[in-house]
Structure 1
Amino acid sequence: MCTPIFMFCWCQIKPNFKIMNKRLLSCFIVGVVFLSLAAVSQSENEDDDDAAVVATEEEDPVEEDIIYRSPIPSGNVYFAEHFDDINQFSKKWILSEAKKHDVDDDIAKYDGKWEVEVPQKNGLTGDLGLVLKSKAKHAAISAHLDRPFKFTVKPLIVQYEVTLQEGQECGGAYLKLLSHGKHTADLRHFNNKTPYTIMFGPDKCGNDHKLHFIFRHKNPLNGTFSEKHCKKPKERLEEPFKDKLPHLYTLVVRPDNTFTVKLDHKIVNEGSLLDDFTPPVNPPPEIGDPDDTKPSDWDEREKISDPEARKPDDWDEDAPAMIPDPAATKPVSWLEDEPQMIPDPNAEKPDDWDSDMDGDWEAPLIPNPICESDAGCGPWEPPQINNPDYKGKWRAPLIDNPNYKGRWNPRRIPNPDFFEDKDPFRMTDIAAVGLELWSISNLILFDNIIITDDQTVAETWASETFDLKRRKLDKDGESLFSRLVTYTNEHPWLWAVYVIVIGLPIVLVLVFCCGSSNQEREEQRRVAEAKKTDAVSPDDVDEQAPAKATKSKSQLEVQEEEEEEEAAAEASGGELDTETPKAEEAVPEVAGDVPSSPKKRPSRKEE
């Protein structure tokens, strides 16, 4: 529908294009744009009448509200905490009354402050979180699981949110899944030595950004525990530590000994419990014999100096590397008797100078200005050049060592501590979840912790919490342009409207206005050239028609005055020149607006 409108408009513009005023053309284009908008809008309304709901003029468009309700987990859940119920939180979570081991007593107490409160900005209505309020203090808090998690035939899924509301300079925001046993019976004694099964979450200090996954493995031979650290993720993880936005951390550990780590639903690390941890779960079956020693005649040198080589007789080890240039000569203008530095002639002894205390005063030295205008001053020395006879210290060339036996290693023996655990997934049961942290930055917010063995349960929990939160943040931070792009992507037909309404008018403006401006300048140049002569041009006829009428009227008045003068002359008996007025009357008929002779034109005083 828009194309015929523009075709019609072009047909109307084209015949009068050269004389159209720019302002009128601009108004015309604006009118065309509005007509196009109206046409497209009408066309779209006609197409969507059957499917769209049309709002009345009195109704305002209603934006979609993101409504948050405290999630209620369904399915097999061992622990779920959204922190929205402060009373329930105070019954469930226990502050540590212990002290941190291996630190000074004056800083060992867990005196960091915890509060349940709303996020600093852009939070959901009714959504609370657990916030670490203190900085540079040890803080510990924990809660029992609803029932212990046992590593049998179902996966372990741990998921929670962290918002570093002030960013992070140095400190952790990880969870500890505390092992079942006597150490977790009373969580008031929770400290850094409390046994844990898994530690998972972000940690940073300086430029070292980590996403921990550490599990404690039990040695089946002696029952001791050792920490196994997961390989580092391949992706860089700096952004969550500085963007001050909520982030979702998910760990999945499966009975087939595989694991997956996710950040905001995206996999950032995965692998095997057997192959991707340091130190490895299973020790090597053989080790070097600790009692074996290297023989005294074992030669590990691969190359040796040639014992038969001799230094040449002409080899001078004492020759210097640099010598004075023998071809250099002192410049003629060199002032050898002039010093390079002289006392400053403008310097004055300070008023407070005490000769007894400070000694004899001497003016500070400055570069000799005479030396700047000549080749140089002071004692002349030739420049240094490389010594062609310099060879340095002589060394015998290297040859293969005939006694080389290779690098010595102790003989291999069976590892007495060897074991093979083919199922490291079967870790110690988990009884509680705890936060035992120290951080330079405060206001670390934790939220929506869940421990389950069902992936669907964890995904549903995230969709009712984290996903709503991020959607609201995206909506609040969305610019007008990004909203327009999003809406356009949802309604692709709008791209055609943009081309017609925006693109085509721009092209028309460039073509019409710029083209018209060039033609007008050419026309003005032609007229200016024509005005350089007194020849009559067609434009002069049109433009000076009013001037002719004005000049004709003035000549009639002059003729009447001349007739009055003739009458006065006859009365006085004088003679009249009757040919001159006739010539003057004939001038307008022949020459148009050519002015009369100044001798016959009446003066301004006469008029």
Structure 2
Amino acid sequence: MHMYICLFCFFFFNSTTYDIFQRFPSSTAARSTFSLKSVIPRIKMTVKAMFFCAMALAGSVNAIEGGSNNNIPALEPLDVKLSPESFWEDFQNYNSTAELLQKWRVSRLGLRDSSTGETRLMYPAKWSLQQPYLLKSFDNDNCLNLETAQSAAMIGRTLENPLKIGDGSKLVVQYEVQLQRNIECGGAFMKLLPPMNETDLLRYSGGSVPFEIIFGPDKCQPYTNEVHFGLKKTNPITNKPEVKLLTNAPISGLDGDQTVRLYTLIMDSKSQDFEIRVDGKVVKVGNLLTEGIFDPPFHSPKKVPDLKAKKPKNWDEREFIPDPKATKPDYWDEDEPLMIPDDADVKPDSWDENMPEYIPEPNRSKPEWWEDSVDGEWVAPLVRNPQCFQIAGCGPWQPRMVENPDYWGPWNPPMIENPKYRGKWTPPLVDNPDYSEDLKPGNLENPIGVILFEFWSGSKDLLIDNLYLGHYVEEAELLGNKTFVPKKRIQDQQLEAEIIGHRGHIEHPKKPPTMFDHHEEKRNLFDRLSDHADRLLEKFSEQSSFVQNILGGSILVLILMLTSYFYLKVMFFQQGYSEGVKSKDKRSEKKQQSKESKFEPQLEQVDSEQLDTDSQSENADFNRRKAK
């Protein structure tokens, strides 16, 4: 369709241009009465034709390059039967963003600025229902879209059936994250909270309700770049909640390509084993009870240092001590200074020792508020004497200081190992009076009643999709195979096609130099221009399709304008040449006529009778010469 529009506009451009040439007068007399206003509408139509031709061609190029988008399969309804307690959200049951926000709530809590008194939202980031625009796998595949970047983001929804984790059950969490812009500092992790009503969710303020589990990617280098996994546990001694975070967590995966990512958490409350998967591949396996794997650990230590113990007086912690048998050598003189005056230094001739180096500031006067009886006698502050800068110096002269070659410094005896060294003292360990242990940390303290996303938004148009929460690994794997796997495959094919399309502009490795290279002549101008063109094409290929289409359309418009310009110049040149030839012929004809007119008046002035008399006399003379 774009090509047909392009051809139509091209022929229309030619016809309007030809019409303008026909309307342009050919004679000089007609040009004197010709008005440019009569062809302005035609010129406007020509410019519009050039513009639409360029846009249509750019659109056809875009359609050719993005022809694969026309083959994007439609998203088919997912026919999977899940257990009643499982939660599944693919965001396909919403027709608009307003309908989405009826289920997924954003906190409306405001914060007041104490300095200005203004009130702003605690979570100003905006959410919407959108489809991917960068790498699109299925048609009409709606996702939860985070529109705002560089702001605090929060959205959540309550579960109709809260999920209880304990008594040997498993917790399985799985969802997709897709970046459409690069991320520098931001997250995409979720928090699972205990049940609450929607009113409390609309007033959520971060720490108002402690979460049960935190899971998901977070990237803010150099501080963090990992998949968070943490559990909330209440300390039985202090009765305060503590967050136990996984140490040595796997990499977030937010710094790769912009294809979809699948994050899966499996936690078994029976064996206390856990497993983290990224894109279906296991990246972390462990047990909650393993010492050192969570910080702080799920149980307190059995032994603690005795706070009442004190270090014995005879405990020597010095590993090295001065040698008591060492003595200072006789030649060691500690009285010699480090720096001494230079005997070779001589005072310059222009140095004036009688001139003071500092003088009272002449422009300073005693302040009006100064009282001598209270403040004492006023003395002007001293400044450097400006006359000292005109000579070598003023004031008392002293030779410069140099290092003393006889300086030894203070003497210290050498260090030896301490025979009484007993090491660093530490207090002895005693039984922990506050000892507590949690042998089943996989049993959550409260049911999961709210799914919440709360993080700092570091990327615009971040997509979240295909969220699963339940007890069964089989359900999560089935959903991932039906949603993530085909989506990932299509996106990888799109990336591969894009890479192959750009491969032609990649510079190939240069051949190694040979022994005859130094005899070759320098590269000519054509080769250098060719290399420069290749580099420009490579940079052009690295741009997005939208930028390429805009540049291509602009270049096409420029070519059409230059073509029409030269076409007009040629037509005007031909018309001017023909007019010049005609005028030249007229000038030559007039010149010939003027030459003839110069001789005709002379012939008219001679009388005919006189001509006859002259001819008769000439004949008589000729006859006489002949007779002689």
Partner of 2:194: 179
Q: Kindly tell me: are residues 117 and 258 of structure 1, through their superposed partners in 2, closer, same or farther at Cα, counting changes over 3 Å?
A: same
8 Å Cα contact 2:319-2:418 kept in structure 1: yes
Instruction: Please say if 1:210 is aligned against 2:264.
Output: no
Instruction: Please say if 1:112 is aligned against 2:130.
Output: no
Partner of 1:466: 484
Residue by residue over 1:355-406, the C-alpha shift from the partner in whole angstroms, topping out at 9 and shown as x without a partner, is: xxxxx9xxxxxxxxxxxxxxxxxxxxxxx9997x886653212223344332
Q: Kindly tell me: are residues 296 and 121 of structure 1, through their superposed partners in 2, closer, same or farther at Cα, counting changes over 3 Å?
A: same
Partner of 2:257: 243
Q: Kindly tell me: are residues 65 and 439 of structure 1, through their superposed partners in 2, closer, same or farther at Cα, counting changes over 3 Å?
A: closer
Residue by residue over 1:307-356, the C-alpha shift from the partner in whole angstroms, topping out at 9 and shown as x without a partner, is: 23211112355789999xxxxxxxxxxxxxxxxxxxxxxxxxxxxxxxxx
Q: Kindly tell me: are residues 143 and 183 of structure 1, through their superposed partners in 2, closer, same or farther at Cα, counting changes over 3 Å?
A: closer
Instruction: Please say if 1:405 is aligned against 2:419.
Output: no
8 Å Cα contact 1:142-1:190 kept in structure 2: no
Partner of 1:414: 431
Cα distance in 2 for partners of 1:322, 1:416 equals 63
Partner of 1:454: 472
Amino acid of the structure 2 residue aligned with 1:154? S
Say which of 89, 107, 126 aligns to 1:96.
107
Residue by residue over 1:74-96, the C-alpha shift from the partner in whole angstroms, topping out at 9 and shown as x without a partner, is: 23252111112225634421221
Residue by residue over 1:522-548, the C-alpha shift from the partner in whole angstroms, topping out at 9 and shown as x without a partner, is: xxxxxxxxxxxxxxxxxxxxxxxxxxx
Q: Kindly tell me: are residues 138 and 73 of structure 1, through their superposed partners in 2, closer, same or farther at Cα, counting changes over 3 Å?
A: farther
Matched residues, number: 381
Partner of 1:200: 215
Q: Kindly tell me: are residues 221 and 320 of structure 1, through their superposed partners in 2, closer, same or farther at Cα, counting changes over 3 Å?
A: closer
Say which of 325, 329, 333 aligns to 1:308.
325
Q: After the TM superposition, which of the residue ranges 239-248 and 298-307 deviates more from structure 2?
A: 239-248
Any gaps of 5 or more consecutive residues in structure 2?
A: 1-69, 341-385, 387-401, 502-628
Partner of 1:84: 92
The root-mean-square deviation of aligned C-alpha atoms, in Å, is 4.4
Q: Kindly tell me: are residues 101 and 416 of structure 1, through their superposed partners in 2, closer, same or farther at Cα, counting changes over 3 Å?
A: farther
Task: Give percent identity, aligned residues only.
Answer: 35
What secondary structure, in the 3-state scheme, does the structure 2 residue paired with 1:477 have?
A: helix
What secondary structure, in the 3-state scheme, does the structure 1 residue paired with 2:212 have?
A: strand
Amino acid of the structure 1 residue aligned with 2:494? D
Partner of 1:567: none
What secondary structure, in the 3-state scheme, does the structure 1 residue paired with 2:311 have?
A: coil
8 Å Cα contact 1:140-1:190 kept in structure 2: no
Q: Kindly tell me: are residues 103 and 419 of structure 1, through their superposed partners in 2, closer, same or farther at Cα, counting changes over 3 Å?
A: farther
Amino acid of the structure 1 residue aligned with 2:106? L
Instruction: Please say if 1:261 is aligned against 2:261.
Output: no
Partner of 2:181: 166
Q: Kindly tell me: are residues 392 and 260 of structure 1, through their superposed partners in 2, closer, same or farther at Cα, counting changes over 3 Å?
A: farther
Cα distance in 1 for partners of 2:478, 2:173 equals 14
Q: Kindly tell me: are residues 67 and 459 of structure 1, through their superposed partners in 2, closer, same or farther at Cα, counting changes over 3 Å?
A: farther
Shift, 1:163, TM fit: 1.4
Partner of 1:579: none
Residue by residue over 1:447-484, the C-alpha shift from the partner in whole angstroms, topping out at 9 and shown as x without a partner, is: 1111121111111111222212211112222239979x
Q: Kindly tell me: are residues 292 and 311 of structure 1, through their superposed partners in 2, closer, same or farther at Cα, counting changes over 3 Å?
A: same
Q: Kindly tell me: are residues 127 and 64 of structure 1, through their superposed partners in 2, closer, same or farther at Cα, counting changes over 3 Å?
A: closer
Q: Kindly tell me: are residues 305 and 187 of structure 1, through their superposed partners in 2, closer, same or farther at Cα, counting changes over 3 Å?
A: same
Partner of 1:68: 75
**Deviating 4+ runs (over 6 angstroms):** 100-105, 318-323, 384-387, 480-483
Amino acid of the structure 2 residue aligned with 1:79? F
Alignment of 1:281-300 (within 5 A): 281-300=298-317
Cα distance in 1 for partners of 2:306, 2:485 equals 57
What secondary structure, in the 3-state scheme, does the structure 2 residue paired with 1:186 have?
A: helix
Cα distance in 2 for partners of 1:74, 1:292 equals 64
Residue by residue over 1:405-435, the C-alpha shift from the partner in whole angstroms, topping out at 9 and shown as x without a partner, is: 3212223221121112111111122111001
Cα distance in 1 for partners of 2:305, 2:119 equals 46
Q: Kindly tell me: are residues 290 and 169 of structure 1, through their superposed partners in 2, closer, same or farther at Cα, counting changes over 3 Å?
A: same
- TM-score scaled by structure 1? 0.54
Shift, 1:156, TM fit: 0.6
Shift, 1:65, TM fit: 6.1
Partner of 2:161: 147
Amino acid of the structure 2 residue aligned with 1:84? Q
Say which of 230, 248, 268 aligns to 1:232.
248
Say which of 122, 137, 142 aligns to 2:135.
122
What secondary structure, in the 3-state scheme, does the structure 1 residue paired with 2:86 have?
A: strand
Cα distance in 1 for partners of 2:328, 2:197 equals 76
What secondary structure, in the 3-state scheme, does the structure 1 residue paired with 2:92 have?
A: coil
8 Å Cα contact 2:319-2:417 kept in structure 1: yes
Q: Kindly tell me: are residues 480 and 423 of structure 1, through their superposed partners in 2, closer, same or farther at Cα, counting changes over 3 Å?
A: closer
What secondary structure, in the 3-state scheme, does the structure 1 residue paired with 2:496 have?
A: coil
What secondary structure, in the 3-state scheme, does the structure 1 residue paired with 2:427 have?
A: coil
Residue by residue over 1:172-206, the C-alpha shift from the partner in whole angstroms, topping out at 9 and shown as x without a partner, is: 210001123x5887322223112211111111223
What secondary structure, in the 3-state scheme, does the structure 1 residue paired with 2:254 have?
A: helix
Alignment of 1:290-439 (within 5 A): 290-316=307-333, 393-428=410-445, 429-439=447-457
Cα distance in 2 for partners of 1:314, 1:90 equals 90
8 Å Cα contact 1:161-1:249 kept in structure 2: yes
